Structure 1
Amino acid sequence: MPLILFIFIAYLPIKINHKNSTTTATTKLNFENQEDPSKIGSENKEKIANQEHPFLNLIQKTIFQALLWIVYQLKQYMHPKFMLAYYCFYVYISAEVLMATVSVLAWALLGLELEPHFNKPYMATSLQDFWGRRWNLMASNALRSSVYEPLKRWVSSRSHDIGAMLPRIVAVMGTFVASGLVHEIALYYFARMRPSWEMTGFFVLQGLVVIVEIVVKKFLLMKGFAWRMNIVVSRVLVVGFVMVSAMCLFFPPVLKFNAVVRLEREVGAMGEFLKCSLIMLISFVNGK
């Protein structure tokens, strides 16, 4: 494997789509043939050129983020509750833009197609669907293999007579608690503030409601009920519940240390740095 490819895979929270990534297949073949794996044949470059370009996705997300940033400039005229709801959208779009940028770099430099980090979370029909199959899929996969499955096996080996539901329930709650603690640690390193445990409370609440979903679905299945909630109603309820609980528990500790103001300051400093660097480069080229 080329060194740049190894660093890219090991350093970033990404997962390669091996079915569509032509570079991966070529690299593997060249490695097995003891050839230079950094060389990509012309036929491989043609395949890459014929695939759907990820720049379109990045442009769409960037435009939407720019529109949200324009709205933010009017925050003094907005109700505080509206701004809390606004942050829900902004966090999602910002994460999408970040990962779309990484995908473009992977495509342009290495010919790799990455698996998506988000799968239209606003289309989720249940909290299980939202957290397990749509929101931050890399984190979900990591937590599934490092917390959920080991904890479920551990409880199963010690609760043979209690029932099949208990290992799953304990594993679900343990996973959400672990996620909450990770967010508390991240916030501590960013803000150097004593944990308020509101973020952990947010994830514990999500875990409790997911457990209620599991139990209710199991009960209805045992009773032979085939009723399902209207898909539009379920989507509104799921997204609404996540947003309201985030507004009450997730964002208040983030806003306590002026995260948005600090972000503006960092973006401004980066802009000034790039501006000065460009001026120096132009002056150097012109010999001044």
Structure 2
Amino acid sequence: MEMEGEIFEVIRVWMEGELSNFIKVWAAVFTALSYCYFAGRFAPKGIPRLLTVFPVLCLFLNLPLHLHTMHLGGMTAFFIAWLANFKLLMFAFDIGPLSDPSVSLPRFLFLACFPIKIQQNTRNPSHNKSKKGQQSLLSYAIKTLLVGVIVRAYDYTDQIGPILIQIIYCFHIYFGIEIILAMVAAMARALLGIELEPQFNEPYLSTSLQDFWGRRWNIMVTSILRPIVYVPVLRLSARFTRRQWAPLPAVFATFVVSAAMHELIFYYLGRVMPTFEITWFFLLHGVCLVVEIAIKKAVNGRWRFPQYVSGPLTVVFVITTGMWLFFPELIRCRGLDRALEEYAAFGAFVKDVGGALRFKPHNATTQ
């Protein structure tokens, strides 16, 4: 009965407040980005343009506080407090996709707040694009099916065991995020007619931490952190150390910023003070990646782990450290329970709407 009461409470939030707040938040987002689009045409790049967009940066840090669900609130926080703010910072200094003077207002809005990146290479044959699109559809269909299986598996947590549950949790988060981001990218493709780069590149096939963080996991975040954090720190560190070792402080600085942004996102999700386990997760991975890069530079290709060894070691390391430092924060803010409640709430909402639509014609004929 207690679980049922929580589900009804989530339904009430969805119906009475969350959807309304969601619409208001995104209306404010598009209005603020429209201001940035037109103001950027007059404000010179650098400090003047930064001062122009600064009120919007503050607004985007505040808006996620008006949403409370894991899905609508969490994704909105990621899209505007992280992606949009970092892209606007790049826009202020005339770098990144928003700085292209030929970008129209609709494209500016989508590029600013959604995890999409226009493909630069347009010379691929059309039949290759069609084949790739079919493969992507099949991949997302399989992953959607797996999410359904995972959700059903949570009904048997007593029989599965805590360690296996956390491993399932890892794949649930990955599949869920990839499907949501793919839906956003598909919407942008349909509305703007542009080819988009994928957000993930099968991270479970990673052969090293450098491969995982640099080329496979959440590629959009990597592409944003590179010009705004990695490149400036790289230039600074190159003044004080040999060029060979200059990337190492830049890599670590990127993980420090990523840690801070993840702490902020988790605050939006749970509204509790951070325990900094998330920070330690990213600092640990930053140190390990710096060590990995340093060793690669030292041996200079003379020796390397076979991929059939380095691949499983990388995946096991990411999952193990995630279970140790990353997922406890999600558990504390009831991330899994709230997500499942929201699935139930959405299902009940669709069922109620469907029932109302079926009832209306019948009611009309009886009158």
Normalising by the smaller structure, the TM-score range is: 0.7 to 0.9
Aligned residue for 2:230? 148
Cα distance, 1:204 vs structure 2: 0.4
Of the three residues 110, 117, 123, the one matched with 1:8 is 110
Cα distance, 1:286 vs structure 2: 4.3
Matches within 5 A, 1:208-227: 208-221=287-300, 226-227=302-303
Of the three residues 56, 59, 75, the one matched with 2:157 is 75
Structure 1, unpaired ranges of 5+? 23-43
Q: Deviations over 1:204-223 (max 9, x none)?
A: 000111111111111112xx
Q: Measure, in 2, the Cα distance between the counterparts of 1:81 and 1:144.
A: 35
- Given residue 213 of structure 1, which amino acid in structure 2 is its aligned partner? E
Q: Measure, in 1, the Cα distance between the counterparts of 2:182 and 2:355.
A: 29
Matches within 5 A, 1:97-112: 97-112=179-194
**Going by fraction, where is helix more abundant, 1 or 2?**
2
Cα distance, 1:171 vs structure 2: 0.8
Tell me if structure 2 keeps the 8 A contact 1:103–1:113.
Answer: no
TM-score (norm 1): 0.81
Structure 2, unpaired ranges of 5+? 1-102
Of the three residues 124, 133, 149, the one matched with 1:52 is 133
Tell me if structure 2 keeps the 8 A contact 1:106–1:113.
Answer: no
TM-score (norm 2): 0.64
Matches within 5 A, 1:122-141: 122-141=204-223
Tell me if structure 2 keeps the 8 A contact 1:21–1:112.
Answer: no
| Alpha carbons of structure 1 residues 7 and 287: separation in structure 2 relative to 1, 3 Å | farther
| Alpha carbons of structure 1 residues 50 and 93: separation in structure 2 relative to 1, 3 Å | closer
The root-mean-square deviation of aligned C-alpha atoms, in Å, is 2.7
| Alpha carbons of structure 1 residues 286 and 105: separation in structure 2 relative to 1, 3 Å | farther
* Higher RCO (CA < 8 A, seq sep 6+): 2
Aligned residue for 1:269? 345
Pair 1:248 & 2:342 matched: no
Q: Deviations over 1:140-160 (max 9, x none)?
A: 111111111111112223x1x
Matches within 5 A, 1:153-232: 153-157=235-239, 159=240, 162-221=241-300, 226-232=302-308
SS in 1 for 2:246: helix
Cα distance, 1:17 vs structure 2: 2.4
Q: Measure, in 2, the Cα distance between the counterparts of 1:256 and 1:229.
A: 38
Cα distance, 1:183 vs structure 2: 0.8
Q: Deviations over 1:58-98 (max 9, x none)?
A: 31221121122222221121221221222111111111211
Tell me if structure 2 keeps the 8 A contact 1:21–1:113.
Answer: no
Cα distance, 1:173 vs structure 2: 0.9
| Alpha carbons of structure 1 residues 13 and 52: separation in structure 2 relative to 1, 3 Å | closer
Cα distance, 1:112 vs structure 2: 3.3
User: What is the total number of aligned residue pairs between the two structures?
Assistant: 260
Q: Measure, in 1, the Cα distance between the counterparts of 2:172 and 2:255.
A: 23
Tell me if structure 2 keeps the 8 A contact 1:58–1:101.
Answer: no
- Given residue 83 of structure 1, which amino acid in structure 2 is its aligned partner? I
Cα distance, 1:163 vs structure 2: 2.3
> Percent of aligned positions with the same letter in both sequences?
37
